[in-house]
Structure 1
Amino acid sequence: MRKSILLSVLFLFAFWSEGVSQEIEKLFDSEVPISMKMSFSIKEIKSKTNDSTYMDSEISVQTSSGSWETFPFEIRTRGNFRLANCYYPPMRIKLKKGEAKGTIFQGNRSLKLVLPCSKTKFADSFLGKEYLAYQLFEQVTPYTFDTRLVKVEFTNLDDKKGGAVVLLGILIEDDDEVAKRFDGEILTKKIPPSIMEDSATVRHDLFQMMIGNTDWSGLYQHNQKVMLVGEKTIIPLAYDFDMTGLVNPPYGQVNSAVGIEKITDRMFRGFCRDPALVQTIRKEFLAKESKIFQTIELNKQYFSEADAKWVNNFIKEFYDILKNDKLFQQKVLESCRKADGTYSF
């Protein structure tokens, strides 16, 4: 009798414990921004860290109950252009081993953190539009990096007189974690675009045209990762959307070799594919038009009213091209890149 009671108690405890673990919020399961607190020296993180060197720090996160929980993180700088040109450096943050279990960071111990570039009044608005680009990409393809907005109460230890400032930020999923979601593998060697999966690649390339992005390269995997799914399916994964016409930041610039004068000049940089396939993907984009604009509407709270108008007009211009056979032929089908990287026109 006692044995059966004991077994029943153990069973109920195990069932309760499983239920508790299932209730733990996962980092990317919600679109509600997370409140965080960070405090470090910008000068120190820029001078003492790099792609392989971290420094110890702490990050406090507000829980769903409103209380604050502090975690031991390691942080470092990353990137190139924004690291050299922005006040707030782009970072990689990594929760120390063993500290993530049972927390919101379980399964996402290593993350990228993007903060606004500058201290100007409208810096958050540019960051909000960059986050929008990730949300728009999710409407186009399942093969994306998960993201979540954060509101960071940041104290720069270099500023002895100033207090904390609240910044909008983006947490971006680690490369290995996105690969794990698809039972795939991130490839580190250069992969010719010609051997990437056709449909996924055309969706990627049309999306980049939609947001006015020329700051990427399929040949050199610039601002693009490639993921192997199964034995031979290779998928492009886009990221880093700040230097786009959609975001249109003050520091925006284009490579003179691309052939446009400013980042708001939209062009198609994809390689030539079967025109019938490209037309099929074109129809996919057209069918998703309402979802695209709904996504803009849902996220316009994160940028200014003027920027919301700009974003809607900019995306509308893309759809004007898709809806016009002559323009689509001219700006996409006849403007694709040949195998050697040169353009057809």
Structure 2
Amino acid sequence: MHVPRSLQILFSVFFLFFSTQLLIAQDENRLFDSEEVLEMEMSISIKKLRSDTNDSTFITQDIAVKENGAWENYPFEIRTRGNFRLDNCYYPPTRIRMAKDDAKGSIFQGTRKLKLVLPCSKGKNSGNYVGKEYLAYKMYELVTGYYFRTRLVKMSLTNLDDKKGEQEELLGFVIEDDDDVAQRFDAEISDKKIPPNIMEDTATVIHDFYQMMIGNTDWSGLYQHNQKVMIVAQKTIYPLAYDFDMCGLVNPPYAQVNSAVPISKVTERLYRGFCRDEALFEYVRQHFLEKESDLMGLIDKYQDLYTPADLKSMNSFISEFFVILKSDKLFKDRIVDSCRNLDGSYSF
């Protein structure tokens, strides 16, 4: 069949356009396309970072990144963020960002705003807790479709305040920015306080089961503490969980239990979700049971990030959650009959 020349040209233009858009989309996802540890290097004054930045003020900071075996220097901006870790940790939690033009063509194109997580202290085993928190993010990916993407970082850091000028090798990871998560789902992040009972049922209960599984009380669905809410298609609301460092799975020395809950340590479990239809609880129960082997497998997969003792204790800790799910009595006592009422009070 003969195709007119004008149509051939039109098809060629469309093909070129869509091919270009595909390449751009692929390029903009490069940072989180790989699980290879991202090597980074920077020299910075921790004191200056603390004194000269805040929630709205950045300072310029060059960070070298190793890509395809070669080091490339990038002009980032950096600031402190957070609350507890900012006040109590030697290395403050930070946000980093890069100008659009500077990110173009790099692995940061399309993901040029990031949270950077480094160890809390300079202690010998401080990196273990970072490795365990990273594991918590990866486990969450297995049970929900709505999550922040992460990537491990090996950070070579020189603190300019240190007279010795020694370079430290730190384990860390970067976390996807809120707006980039929303863009993936053609959604928006809301700053409004949205009651959990009007969020999407299944995703919310999955979130609540997961927080119980890892022993986390450092969150609030009522006040969106360590939780963002994402609105899809202007009507469906999903929870986005983050900051798992205070949970029983990680169990750092500084871990504290939420003062509003009736337990005394983070390695105790308490279901903090709101009451729902029992059929939904049962559906999510089966969802987690189907994921058990995959979740346990992740602990082994990332075992190089923590000590053998940590590996053993985490296997035991997560197994205890599945003991609850596999027992009709424990499931009813610990979850179904222990959910929270709409005013935040507990049913038991």
Normalised by the length of structure 1, the TM-score is 0.93
Provide the aligned C-alpha RMSD in A. Answer: 1.8
The residue number in structure 1 matching 2:6 is none
Give distance in 2, aligned partners of 1:21 and 1:292: 33
One-letter amino acid matched to 1:83: L
Aligned to 2:50: 46
Q: CA deviation at 1:160?
A: 1.6
Partner of 2:347: 344
Question: Which residue among 92, 95, 105 is the counterpart of 1:92?
Answer: 95
Which of 142, 146, 150 is 2:145 aligned to? 142
Aligned with 1:319 (options 303, 319, 322): 322
| Structure 2 counterpart SS, 1:207 | helix
Equivalent position amino acid for 1:47 in 2: S
Aligned to 1:255: 258
- 1:97 Cα offset (Å): 3.0
SS of the equivalent of 2:173 reads: strand
Q: In 2, are the aligned partners of 1:51 and 1:78 still within 8 Å (CA)?
A: yes
Match of 1:200 in 2: 203
1:333 aligns with 2:325: no
Which residue among 57, 73, 94 is the counterpart of 2:61? 57
Structure 1 ranges of 4+ moved more than 4 A: 17-25
Q: Is the 8 A contact 2:100 2:109 kept in 1?
A: no
Question: How far has the Cα of 1:232 moved from its partner?
Answer: 1.0
Aligned to 1:268: 271
Separation in 2, partners of 1:106, 1:208: 32
2:224 is aligned to: 221
Residue identity in the other structure for 2:30: K
CA offsets 1:259-295 (integer angstroms, 9 cap, x no match): 1101111110000011111100100000111110111
Matched with 1:291 is: 294
Q: Does 2:29 align with 1:31?
A: no
Q: Which whole-Å deviations, capped at 9, do the CAs of 1:284-307 have from their partners, x for residues lacking one?
A: 000111110111111111111110
What 5-or-longer segments of structure 2 have no aligned partner? 1-8
The one-letter code of the counterpart of 2:136 is A
Amino acid at match of 1:58: D
Q: Counterpart of 1:275 in structure 2: which amino acid?
A: E
C-alpha distance in structure 2 between counterparts of 1:83 and 1:187, whole Å = 24
1:154 and 1:166 in contact (8 A); partners too: yes
Q: Distance in 1 between matches of 2:172 and 2:148?
A: 15
Separation in 2, partners of 1:224, 1:23:
28
Equivalent residue for 2:115, pick from 100, 103, 112: 112
1:123 aligns to what? 126
Task: Please state whether the residue corresponding to 1:343 is helix, strand or coil.
Answer: coil
Q: How many percent identity over aligned positions?
A: 61
Paired residue type of 1:138: E
Cα distance in 2 between the residues matched to 1:193 and 1:201: 7
Q: Distance in 1 between matches of 2:148 and 2:24?
A: 25
Kept in 1, the 8 Å contact 2:53–2:79? The answer is yes
TM-aligned CA deviation for residue 21 of structure 1: 6.3
TM-score, structure 2 normalization: 0.93
Q: Is the 8 A contact 2:157 2:167 kept in 1?
A: yes
Q: Distance in 1 between matches of 2:280 and 2:269?
A: 22
- Note if contact 1:199-1:281 (Cα within 8 Å) is conserved in structure 2: yes
Q: Assess, with a 3 A threshold, how the Cα gap between structure 1 residues 262 and 22 changes in structure 2: closer, same or farther.
A: closer
* CA distance, structure 2, for counterparts of residue 180 and residue 82 of structure 1: 28
Task: Report the CA distance between 1:96 and its aligned residue.
Answer: 2.1
Provide the residue aligned with 1:4 in structure 2.
none
With over 3 angstroms needed to count, the CA separation of the structure-2 counterparts of 1:257 and 1:21, relative to structure 1, is closer
Residues of 1 paired with 2:248 and 2:77: CA distance? 34
- Aligned-pair CA distance for 1:170: 1.1
Which moves more between the two structures, 25-34 or 316-325? 25-34
Contact persistence 1:21–1:102 (CA under 8 A): no
Task: Give the match for residue 4 of structure 2.
Answer: none
Q: How far, CA to CA, are the matches of 2:242 and 2:82 in structure 1? A: 12
Structure 1, unaligned runs of 5 or more: 1-6
Note if 1:306 corresponds to 2:309.
yes
Corresponding residue for residue 70 of structure 1: 73
Contact 1:147 1:173 in 2 (8 A): yes
> What is the letter of the counterpart of residue 231 of structure 1?
Q
Partner Cα distance (1:231, 1:74) in 2: 33
SS of the residue aligned with 1:186? strand
Number of residue equivalences: 333
Moved more, 278-287 or 25-34: 25-34
Deviation at residue 254 of structure 1 after TM alignment: 1.1
